[in-house]
Structure 1
Amino acid sequence: MEVKNGIIIDGVLHEMSESFNINFDCSKCSLNKECNECEMKNEAYLCDVMGCFCFVNRGKVADIKIDKED
């Protein structure tokens, strides 16, 4: 599986959603808890910082392969 925009937290991959929905329900985002903590500490949501409106939990990461750019 190829991931273009994702975050790994405690061995779990959260991939940025490609879909843009202005009426998105934040409770469906897999990083909702982390986003609320970020907002409390830094007065900004992850959506504001990363330009995203949803992360999806893709499960545990077993093996990471990285293609190096020349």
Structure 2
Amino acid sequence: MEINNGIIIDGVLHEMIELIDVSNINFDCSKCSLCKECEECEMKHGSYLCDVMACFFFVNRGKVTDIKTKEEKE
């Protein structure tokens, strides 16, 4: 599986789902896999993770077992 943008926290990959057309989407923070962490970030820094990362929400993709860069794949 190839992931272009994400965050690994405690060995779990959270993939960014990018903003496309927000006019037709009902935003629901409960769908985000980093909802708890985002609330902590907002309380400490006054910004939500999705605002900082310019994405819509994060999806949990599971435990990371092996990470390869483009150079290692070639």
Task: Give the TM-score, by structure 1 length.
Answer: 0.88
Q: Does 1:2 align with 2:2?
A: yes
Q: Does 1:36 align with 2:29?
A: no
Larger radius of gyration: 2
Q: Quote the offset at 1:19 in angstroms.
A: 5.5
Structure 2: stretches of 5+ with no match in the other structure: none
Task: Give the TM-score, by structure 2 length.
Answer: 0.83
Q: Does 1:54 align with 2:57?
A: yes
C-alpha distance in 1 between matches for 2:26 and 2:45: 24
**Would you identify which runs of 4 or more consecutive aligned residues in structure 1 move more than 3 Å?**
18-22
Structure in which a larger fraction of residues adopt helix: 2
Amino acid at match of 2:42: E
Structure 1: stretches of 5+ with no match in the other structure: none
Q: Quote the offset at 1:18 in angstroms.
A: 3.6
CA deviations over 1:16-35 (Å, ceiling 9, x no partner): 11454441210110000110
CA deviations over 1:10-65 (Å, ceiling 9, x no partner): 00000011454441210110000110000000001011111111100000000111
Task: Tell me the matched-pair count.
Answer: 68
Report percent identity of matched pairs.
75
The Cα RMSD (Å) is 1.4
